[in-house]
Structure 1
Amino acid sequence: MRQATSYMARQIATVTLFATVVLCVAVLLVQSVRLVDLIVNRGLGIAQFGYMASLMVPRFVALVMPIALFGATLFTYNRMINDSELVVLRSAGLSTWALSRPAFLVGLGASLVCFVLTLYLMPLSAKEMRFHLEDTRSQWGAALLQEGKFTTVGENATIFVRERSPGGELQGILYNVDAPDQDSFTVIAERGAVVETDEGPRIVVVNGTRQSFSDRKMHLVRFDRSTIDLGGNREAAENYWDQPEERFLPRLLNPGTSDPNDVYYRDKLIAEGHGRLILPLLPLSYAAVALVFLLRAQFSRRGNLTGLLMAVGVMTAILVGHLSLLNAAGRQPELLPMLWANALVPFIVSTLILYKPRRHRRRKPPAVDGGYEAPQGHPAE
């Protein structure tokens, strides 16, 4: 029995790992398109790109691993049914519960991995991703300004550099700020250079003018030396409000009242915290659903296509219900019990069905007038 359990668990785990890697690579290729701008326009190196792409992996693994486990369970058990391996194991005395044990063991391991991802690695990587992305945009956007092109810096600023010398000196600088919440102005300077300060990247400009318009008048200020702030303020980045995906579980379930944003988004933060706890339970629910439709189905040499499609349909309904309820619970906290029920009820019901002993009904011979009906091909004597 141990050898059979080990064999089946190894098969399921191998397929799950392979499917998880394939799905993660596919999703990563799609999501990393937004980082291509940093390579093409900002000069981001391949090493930095690879590091930033790796920070997306924990979230993708937590999302695709339950689906990969479901597919691996369907694939492994359906193959063993078609190869009559399960028939042999049943003949050896293994019950339905014993046959389902390998899938539950792999599902438990997947749940533990998802717990580590959702409770620790996901918020850690999300926070690191934000700071690294801001520093990269600020540093590379300032240091690699393209000659003869207008470059957007921040949300409201645009900078133009006519020429850049090999030593890093900038010639012909135009810097314009057009913000609705502050005075707009334009700086024109003969030359300048990018410097890195404790507050972020700055451009020191020489021999220029600062033009602004207020009170229906044009104001012109000439200067010999000035500094342009490119918006890469590190202190402001540190004071940035942490997004839900960047927070650990205690700060999600208990946001506090010190920050107005925490009060305003309280329901969303709490819903995100419950979602972090519920997501690792989905592998067990998916595995239980797959086992019910495979191990409780009647054996047929024509296959069990109907059972496979029904299992996929139930799994899809659980996934869609989880995503929909998680989004709705951020606005209506009273939906949180339904979010938990969506993940736990399928597992509980499926487990009870698997644990219930199978009852075989004896088929009654067809009643024939005059007594015994001879099998076809063998005439009655």
Structure 2
Amino acid sequence: MSRLDRYIFRQLGVALLAVTIGLAALVWLTQSLRFIELVLDRGLSFSVFIELTGLLLPSFLAIILPITTFVVSLFIYVRLASDRELVVMRAAGLSQWQLARPVLAIAGLAMLVCYVLNLWVVPRSQAAFRAWQYEIRNELAAILVQEGVFSSVGEDLTVYARYRDPDGTLRGILVHDAREAGAPVTILAESGHISPGPNGPRVTLENGQRQQVEKVSPPPGSPAGTPPQLRLSILSFSENSVDLARARSGEADSRYRNAQERTLDELLHPDPAEHIPERDLKRFIAEAHQRLSGPLTTITYALVALATALTGQFRRHGGSLRLFTGIAVVVALLAFGLTASNLAARTPRLIPLIWLNTLLPGLASAWILSGAPGWPQRWWFGRRGMGAAAS
């Protein structure tokens, strides 16, 4: 690597590191706001909050690193062009591809980082994140019950306590349990306390009523088509207990894992014993191709940046149409890539769209950097000559 290569590579590396860290921190901050309630209102420790939200960072980095590579490459080379440094380098005899070497080197390193993230780090971090969520929802469900608040423990269990004594005893308790389909239960109790149980936290209630709405078949002789009747069943008790966790024995070990949690081998060769639905099998295949193709977009976006910066003339004032064109191309590629991934997850025969979106723009940019061979040379060099004369 020549001195000029090291000069440009150093600028690219510092800028890429700063922009990637800054953007990742911004995305992490916006995404972690939905978990801050667990610390402020639910009593979860700050260290658990940091660990839980930190598990999201690898997936953020895998997504934004190709984008930041494009932004940094375009910004550095446009600045070099506006400061006439590229003119001096070309006068020294450097070709387009020689000028492109630092960007290709930094993009290659970023691509390797993305492969490590996509194939190893992200699946493990997503699995750990889902496990934390599962534990908070089940094993740590007791921290979700706060006095004076209707606390949702899962989607179909709500607990309310008017206040909590210093010793942890709950007073004025209401529990609405809709986990059993078609038979919701509402429990009112004077007091209670939370204790560990065989399947997770359990609230033991004292001196209360259990109210359940049940469907009763129509009495004999009713007209055909008569809908079932609803009957309110009320039971008074001196002591009753309700499990706050949804888990049952062995359920934690068999928790269904989504596509983001699985390794590449599990996506391409799922275990038949899991009886995975056909819809999810299609998603697994699309996710596998997305992981393999995603890091290559780092090279593609870098080539788009080079084709934008090295084949046009940039001035200190004006001449920014080509710059906006390059940005618009990458924005369009991101939008098309998202659409292609969604379509491929539903229809596997559209998976080639993922690879087409990944490779074709890079090949087209490389063709432009090479001088557009096969294109009418008079037109191509005439356009470049007019741009050079204008500068």
Q: TM-score, normalised by structure 1?
A: 0.86
Whether the aligned pair in 2 keeps the contact of 1:211 and 1:221 (CA below 8 Å) is yes
**Aligned CA distance change for structure 1 residues 232 and 301 (closer, same or farther; 3 Å):** closer
Q: Deviations over 1:142-174 (max 9, x none)?
A: 235222333222222222223322111223333
- What letter matches 2:147 in structure 1? E
Range with greater deviation from structure 2 (33-42 or 207-216)? 207-216
> Which residue does the alignment assign to 1:233?
247
Q: Deviations over 1:293-349 (max 9, x none)?
A: 221225767554122112112211221111110111111212111210111112122
Q: Secondary structure in 2 aligned to 1:43?
A: coil
**Aligned CA distance change for structure 1 residues 11 and 286 (closer, same or farther; 3 Å):** same
Whether the aligned pair in 2 keeps the contact of 1:42 and 1:141 (CA below 8 Å) is no
How far apart are residue 183 of structure 1 and its match? 2.3
- What letter matches 1:250 in structure 2? D
> Whole-Å Cα distance in 1 between the matches of residues 372 and 352 of structure 2?
31
Answering whether residue 340 of structure 2 is matched by residue 325 of structure 1, we say: yes
Answering whether residue 110 of structure 2 is matched by residue 95 of structure 1, we say: no
How far apart are residue 199 of structure 1 and its match? 1.8
Answering whether residue 292 of structure 2 is matched by residue 277 of structure 1, we say: yes
**Aligned CA distance change for structure 1 residues 10 and 188 (closer, same or farther; 3 Å):** same
- What letter matches 1:211 in structure 2? Q
> Whole-Å Cα distance in 1 between the matches of residues 372 and 92 of structure 2?
17
Q: Secondary structure in 1 aligned to 2:155?
A: coil
Range with greater deviation from structure 2 (314-323 or 261-270)? 261-270
> Which residue does the alignment assign to 1:19?
19
Q: Secondary structure in 1 aligned to 2:295?
A: helix
**Aligned CA distance change for structure 1 residues 190 and 341 (closer, same or farther; 3 Å):** same
> Whole-Å Cα distance in 2 between the matches of residues 351 and 331 of structure 1?
32
> Whole-Å Cα distance in 1 between the matches of residues 177 and 200 of structure 2?
18
Q: Secondary structure in 1 aligned to 2:351?
A: helix
> Which residue does the alignment assign to 2:56?
56
Larger radius of gyration: 1
> Whole-Å Cα distance in 1 between the matches of residues 314 and 176 of structure 2?
74
> Whole-Å Cα distance in 2 between the matches of residues 290 and 220 of structure 1?
71
> Which residue does the alignment assign to 2:74?
74
How far apart are residue 68 of structure 1 and its match? 0.7
Q: Deviations over 1:83-138 (max 9, x none)?
A: 22222222222211111010000000111111111112212111211221232244
Whether the aligned pair in 2 keeps the contact of 1:43 and 1:140 (CA below 8 Å) is no
- What letter matches 1:308 in structure 2? L
Q: Secondary structure in 2 aligned to 1:228?
A: strand
> Whole-Å Cα distance in 2 between the matches of residues 274 and 306 of structure 1?
34
Whether the aligned pair in 2 keeps the contact of 1:42 and 1:144 (CA below 8 Å) is yes
Whether the aligned pair in 2 keeps the contact of 1:44 and 1:140 (CA below 8 Å) is no
- What letter matches 1:322 in structure 2? G
> Which residue does the alignment assign to 1:379?
none
Whether the aligned pair in 1 keeps the contact of 2:199 and 2:243 (CA below 8 Å) is no
The percentage of counterpart residues that share the same residue type is: 36
**Aligned CA distance change for structure 1 residues 2 and 102 (closer, same or farther; 3 Å):** same
Whether the aligned pair in 2 keeps the contact of 1:153 and 1:230 (CA below 8 Å) is yes
Q: Secondary structure in 2 aligned to 1:67?
A: helix
**Aligned CA distance change for structure 1 residues 156 and 14 (closer, same or farther; 3 Å):** same
- What letter matches 1:95 in structure 2? S
Taking the TM superposition and a 5 Å limit, the aligned residue runs for 1:299-318 are 304-318=319-333
How far apart are residue 356 of structure 1 and its match? 4.5
The two structures, once aligned, show a CA RMSD in angstroms of 2.6
Gaps spanning 5+ residues in structure 1: where?
A: 364-381
> Whole-Å Cα distance in 2 between the matches of residues 317 and 203 of structure 1?
53
Equivalent pairs counted in the alignment come to: 363
> Which residue does the alignment assign to 2:199?
199
Range with greater deviation from structure 2 (231-240 or 16-25)? 231-240
